[in-house]
Structure 1
């Protein structure tokens, strides 16, 4: 099973405060442990929302709002994409992540092709495989 681990933003991340060398080292060690265990597929921190935008889709066109955005529970400071046998295993890994007290993450399972049932036709499956193969070449 694949999971996206969403790291919630806070006042420091939105202010662009960079982590200390010690925090970077601890996170690097944690990421290395996940890599050696075959768990991590990707993981990155995100710039504050002042450098971002939101696109909202309407009936006829999309509108754009540029950051910064008000600090709220839906803001994201980073993510991991991990692969584990279960949600419980994903939770066990993330409980070991070196975050400060008060930090918050969210763990969400990523859909697999099988989750879509018959709506995911063989043609759509082939298209998905081509897209992934193309992306892997980049």
Structure 2
């Protein structure tokens, strides 16, 4: 089961304030533990929304609308993520509880969300075959 630990943004992360060395060290230690357990798939921080772009679809079938950041409400933004593959929801919660305060100032908030598996979304053999072919192609490109 894959889960994403979504690190919510703060006013500091949206202002581009870099994490302290102490927090970087704590996060590296946490990521090392995830690697040793064989559950880490990815982990990265995101730049502030001031450099972001939002694409919205205001009308069904309509043309997409592009809006440059920054975006309102830091608490609605994402500052980073960790992607893990674990055996259960409970294990995902345990890993999330071990993550250091992602901002180091007592402002951290982590949202834990399970990721759909392909089979959860696609129910036709044709769709599943197409998806498997795409994923294989991605893996082949990584190895090239």
TM-score normalized by the length of structure 1 = 0.91
Contact 1:14 1:71 (C-alpha < 8 Å) held by counterparts: no
- Is 1:131 matched with 2:143? no
- Out of 102, 108, 112, the position equivalent to 2:113 is 108
Displacement of 1:14? 0.1
Displacement of 1:78? 0.6
CA RMSD of aligned residues (A): 1.3
SS of the counterpart of 1:30? helix
Query: 2: CA distance between counterparts of 1:85 and 1:92?
Result: 12
Q: 2:92 aligns to what?
A: 90
- Is 1:79 matched with 2:81? yes
Aligned runs of 1:3-42 on 2, under 5 Å?
Answer: 3-42=3-42
Query: 2: CA distance between counterparts of 1:78 and 1:134?
Result: 27
Displacement of 1:130? 1.6
Displacement of 1:132? 1.4
SS of the counterpart of 1:70? coil
SS of the counterpart of 1:73? helix
SS of the counterpart of 1:81? strand
Query: 2: CA distance between counterparts of 1:49 and 1:113?
Result: 29
Query: 1: CA distance between counterparts of 2:6 and 2:72?
Result: 18
Displacement of 1:7? 0.6
Any unmatched runs of 5+ in structure 1?
A: none
